[in-house]
Structures are given as structure tokens and as C-alpha cells.
């Protein structure tokens, strides 16, 4: 996680690279062909990635919350999913492991997705997630504007800091989820260039930090090599 997301706290010098923003950023790999073709649609205004990690089971989501996103088939209509169905100008990739739902052709459901590779794809414009540490890191490394809906543990803190200290994210309150609420939040982030601008700065800083760390590592390796040669 970027150091900006950590308030001042006593700690030893960072020798592991864990806290050094950029040191943990990974390069994106090519997407599987089906995903690549899906997100590369020329008519799409961009890709929205939805992923809440492996410990947030969609099949346990309250129906009224799930219905807010998409239509639930064979279940009485109740007010997360309907909202996504309305963003037909975008391509939505949703890591979903829940009950059967009916979604539009612009939405692709999958039990597993290459999250980091999708976030680094040139057409990705929004990331909707629970705000876990790994997701926040990958969002920061890719500079992707985000909507975090914290569920438990440190996620509320992660989301709050990403919004208020860095500025590339907004927060979805899980207790207020409704079709209109989710739609409005998505539209707010997609429609305001400040989130993409902050994300771009964050990504550029991370890339510089990673290059600096890599160059230091190479310099250290060369120094060790020279020392061994001298001893001989």
C-alpha cells in the first residue's frame, strides 16, 4: 500500500520493501483471449472490473442488496446488479460466485478473473471492490479510479484513506446499497476526471519508485560482484 495510505507510526527502517510504494507493483500479463476480445470491443467506453475477493460470498448477499446490482432470475423482484445492467456502454467483468442471475451482454461473469492484468489493461476505467489490502495495492499500482465497499476488518480504513488521503477512490456504504445509490456512485466516479487524474499521478509515482528500487538492486549486485572479483 502507498505510504500515503499509512498515518505516521513508529517503526524500524523499511528494509523489506513492504511499505515502499511501487516495490510490490507487478507488470500486467496478456489477458486470456475471451477476456481480451470482450474488453476490446470498439463500441465500449471502457471496462469496469468488479471483484470482492474470495472471502466475500455473493451467494450469501441479501437479495435486496444483490438486486441493486443486477436482476435476479426466478426470484421475486426486490429493489448491486440492476445498476450494472444499466451501464450498457461499458464492458463489465465481474468476479462472481453466487446464485444464478440474469445479466446483459455487456457483463461477463466468472468465478475467477486475472484482476491485476485487467486493472492494468488500457481500457479499464473503474474498479469496484471491498477494499482489501491486495485490491487497494493493485488499484494504486494501476492508477484505476475505484469504488470501495468495505465489508469488515481493515477495509473501512483502507477505503477511507484511499478516498481522503490520496483521492482516487470513493466509498460505497454497504448499508445504503440500492439501485439508485450504486448507479449514482458509479456515475460520479466515471464522470469526474479528478479520480483518473489522481490515479495517474499515483501510478507514475509507483513506476518511478519501482525503477529506483530496481536500479539500487542492480547497483548492489554489481558491487557484490566487484567485491568478489577484488578478493580473488
Q: What percent of the chain has pLDDT over 70?
A: 70
pLDDT at 215 over 80: no
The model's confidence at residue 75, banded by pLDDT at 50, 70 and 90, is very low
Name the helix (H) or strand (E) containing 216.
Answer: helix 193-231
Q: What is the per-residue pLDDT for 7?
A: 56
CA atoms within 13 A on the CB side of 158: 24
Query: How far apart are the C-alpha atoms of 129 and 97, rounded to whole Å?
Result: 14
Q: What is the per-residue pLDDT for 67?
A: 56
pLDDT at 3 over 60: no
Name the helix (H) or strand (E) containing 148.
Answer: strand 146-148
Where is average pLDDT lowest: 71-75, 178-182, 219-223? 71-75
- Tell me the average pLDDT across 208-230: 61
Q: What is the per-residue pLDDT for 35?
A: 96
Q: What is the per-residue pLDDT for 25?
A: 83
CA atoms within 13 A on the CB side of 230: 6
- Topology of domain 29-231 in CATH is Rossmann fold (3.40.50)
Query: Could you say which DSSP state residue 48 is in?
Result: E
Q: Count the Cβ atoms, other than its own, within 10 Å of residue 66.
A: 23
Where is average pLDDT lowest: 11-20, 27-36, 150-159, 181-190? 11-20
Where is average pLDDT lowest: 63-77, 124-138, 175-189? 63-77
Q: What is the per-residue pLDDT for 66?
A: 58
* Average model confidence (pLDDT) across the chain: 80
203 and 26 in contact (C-beta within 8 Å)?
no
28 and 116 in contact (C-beta within 8 Å)?
yes
Question: Is pLDDT larger for residue 121 or for residue 53?
Answer: 121
Q: What does pTM read for this prediction? A: 0.78
Question: Is pLDDT larger for residue 124 or for residue 83?
Answer: 124
pLDDT tens by residue, 156-209: 999 998 999 889 999 999 888 888 899 999 999 999 999 999 999 988 888 887
Query: How far apart are the C-alpha atoms of 104 and 202, rounded to whole Å?
Result: 33
Query: How far apart are the C-alpha atoms of 49 and 46, rounded to whole Å?
Result: 10
Amino acid at each position: 500500500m502507498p505510504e500515503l495510505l499509512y498515518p505516521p507510526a513508529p517503526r524500524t527502517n523499511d528494509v523489506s520493501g513492504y511499505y515502499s510504494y511501487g516495490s510490490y507493483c507487478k507488470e500486467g500479463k496478456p489477458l486470456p483471449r475471451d477476456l481480451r476480445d470482450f474488453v476490446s470491443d470498439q463500441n465500449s467506453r471502457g471496462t469496469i472490473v468488479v471483484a470482492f475477493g474470495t472471502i466475500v460470498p455473493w451467494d450469501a448477499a441479501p437479495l435486496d442488496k444483490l438486486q441493486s446490482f443486477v436482476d435476479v432470475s426466478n426470484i421475486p423482484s426486490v429493489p448491486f446488479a440492476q445498476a450494472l445492467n444499466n451501464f450498457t456502454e461499458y464492458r463489465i467483468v465481474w468476479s462472481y460466485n453466487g446464485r444464478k442471475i440474469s445479466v446483459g451482454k455487456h457483463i461477463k461473469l466468472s468465478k475467477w478473473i486475472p484482476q491485476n492484468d485487467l486493472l492494468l489493461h488500457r481500457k479499464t476505467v473503474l474498479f469496484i471492490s471491498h477494499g482489501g489490502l491486495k485490491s487497494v495495492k493493485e488499484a494504486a499500482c494501476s492508477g484505476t479510479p475505484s469504488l470501495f465497499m468495505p465489508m469488515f476488518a481493515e477495509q473501512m480504513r483502507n477505503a477511507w484513506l484511499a478516498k481522503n488521503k490520496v483521492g482516487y477512490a470513493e466509498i460505497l456504504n454497504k448499508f445504503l446499497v440500492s439501485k439508485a445509490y450504486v448507479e449514482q456512485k458509479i456515475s460520479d466516479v466515471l464522470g469526474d476526471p479528478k479520480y483518473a487524474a489522481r490515479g495517474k499521478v499515483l501510478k507514475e509515482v509507483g513506476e518511478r519508485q519501482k525503477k529506483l528500487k530496481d536500479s539500487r538492486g542492480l547497483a548492489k549486485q554489481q558491487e557484490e560482484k566487484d567485491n568478489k572479483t577484488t578478493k580473488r
